Structure 1
């Protein structure tokens, strides 16, 4: 049986607008709607980022779905992205062209493998400065900084702890992120 041809940005752009797919390593991967708790977590992080980044004119914050074009075989829709002021040229009408400064992925059962392995490798390769993994089930946040040796864990906290983003000069209280209700 012949191998299927890898999909490209050209194929991705043929999909109807709003299609629930990402292009990961040349394959279309469906992204089902996340849970309500996932959405609440994303919203709370977005609100903090918006208040501190956009209101202070340090950059722009986007939430899913927004396309991040990294190469011909990788177009991702991270949960949240931050593009700082000096990277503003990356923001185009169709999405973000190139690596954002910060990418935040909130894990869900359908996306965990891609977020923890495949997408993480591509984000590192293309120069995302900071990569966050937010785990609603374990109530943890891990922040990885890109270095010559790949992503290095620089901050980690659980439930009622705090994490600090060096890139954003911003502290996050996990109580605010993971509160119920």
Structure 2
């Protein structure tokens, strides 16, 4: 997937520096008297439930499934834990009706440590020419526990192009990356814009 690397670089905020890594225990004890920091820690869900991450699995973020949500239609659900599911995405395009409003939904788990600044990057090409590049900030998350076994994030709605020139086959490449520039999942996929479903 090296040919897509230039397209899939997250934007940078000038002057922003990634903070020092801390363990969950260090975050829990950090400035316990600081009310705003305590609210931030509570919003992440630190210190609730039993960690569910497998200590033998080094992955920090596991994308469990993706879905394409369209109003008044059943979701197109992709279970990424199924064997061969990621590889099949580029070979089994799905159809989107021209002009339809849709959004992506991701279900994922965070293990071992706080995941900082998870982003979704996507580049869409038609006949080898880039037609769009999107980036969505998903946020920062504490490791999942028995109290909260996974996270679900719905992306901002998008609208499929319409008109005769917009119809056809599209290829895309997407990835989930964090502030530390760790890529948690990168995959190629395909879809068709058609006059109807």
Q: Could you say which TM-score interval applies, normalised by the shorter chain?
A: under 0.3
| Higher relative helix content | 1
TM-score, length-scaled by structure 2 = 0.24
TM-score, length-scaled by structure 1 = 0.26
| Higher relative strand content | 2
Q: Pick the structure with greater CA Rg.
A: 2
